[in-house]
Amino acid sequence: MRYLLLVLSMLLFPLTAAHAEVRVGIGINVPGVSIGINLPAYPRLVPVPGYPVYYDPRVNSNYFFYDGLYWVFYGDGWYVSSWYNGPWDWVDRAYVPLYVLRVPVRYYRRPPPYFHGWHPDAPPRWEDRWGPGWEQHRSDWDKKDARRAAPPPAPLPSYQRQYSGDRYPQKVERQHELQQQHYRYQPRDPMVQKHYEERGKGQGQGKGQDKGKGHND
C-alpha cells in the first residue's frame, strides 16, 4: 500500500503540488528505501565549483552532499540520508533544496536518458521534466544570481570514515547518537532544517554554538 501511494503521488504531482499542505520541511518521506547504494568506504567528496555542494566523481551514481546531508538522484526521484550509505528517505520533489537542484548536469555521474542534449554546465531542466505544476510551486529554483549568492559549503562529517564495512551503523538510532557526538553542524537551508526537526536529528545538537558553524572529528 505504501509503495502504491508513493507511485500515485509521483504521477499526480503536477495536479496537486501547488495545493499541497506543507506540514513538514521537505515533504512526505518514505523511510528506509533501498536504492542500490552500497559504498565500501566513505566517499571521496570534492566541491562542485561555485556551489555549496559536494560530489564524488568516482561513485557510479548521482551522489551529492549538501548542508549536512547526503542526496541521491535515482529513478527520477530524490533521496536523503544523514549517513553516507543510508538508509535513505524518499523526498517529495517539491521540497528538494534549491542548491541541490541547481547542480549542473556534468556532475551527475549516472544521468538518466532524458538529460541527453541538455547543456552540461547548466542545471537539469527540471521544469521540462516535471511540468508547469512543479515549476509554479518552485519558481525560485533557478534564479540567475544563484551562484553569486551561494552560502559556503557545510563541513564534511569526516568522522564517518572510521565506520565502514561491518562497523557501519545500520540502526538509525545509533547513527543519530554518533552524529550528536561528532558532528554538531546546524543546517542553514530552511528545508534541511525542517528535515532535521522531522527526523529528530536536530534536537540537542550544537548547543552553545552559533548557528551554521560546524564541528567534526
State the pLDDT at residue 31.
60
Residue 164 lies in a domain: no
State the pLDDT at residue 11.
42
Length of the chain: 217
Alpha-carbon gap, residue 199 to 80, rounded angstroms: 11
For cell 542545471, the residue is: 123
Residue 50 lies in a domain: yes
CA-based radius of gyration for the chain: 17
Domain of residue 85: give its range: 2-152
State the pLDDT at residue 136.
83
Q: Which three cell numbers stand for residue 56?
A: 564524488
Residue 160 DSSP code: G
Q: Are 92 and 77 in contact (CB under 8 A)?
A: no
Alpha-carbon gap, residue 129 to 118, rounded angstroms: 12
Residue 211 lies in a domain: no
State the pLDDT at residue 33.
72
Q: Are 153 and 48 in contact (CB under 8 A)?
A: no
3-class SS of residue 175: helix
Number of domains in the chain: 1
State the pLDDT at residue 187.
92
State the pLDDT at residue 211.
39
Q: Are 190 and 157 in contact (CB under 8 A)?
A: no
Nearest to 73 by CA among 112, 45, 122, 102: 112
The model carries a pTM of 0.78
Q: Are 85 and 28 in contact (CB under 8 A)?
A: no
State the pLDDT at residue 94.
86
Residue 196 lies in a domain: no
Q: For 115-132, write each residue's pLDDT tens digit.
A: 999 999 999 999 999 988
Residue 165 lies in a domain: no
Residue 192 lies in a domain: no
State the pLDDT at residue 34.
76
Which residues, in sequence order, are CB contacts of 40 under 8 Å at separation 6+?
164, 165
State the pLDDT at residue 209.
39
Low-confidence ranges of the chain (pLDDT < 50): 1-29, 201-217
Alpha-carbon gap, residue 143 to 140, rounded angstroms: 6
Nearest to 150 by CA among 114, 102, 86, 194: 102
Q: Which three cell numbers stand for residue 213?
A: 558553524
Residue 93 lies in a domain: yes
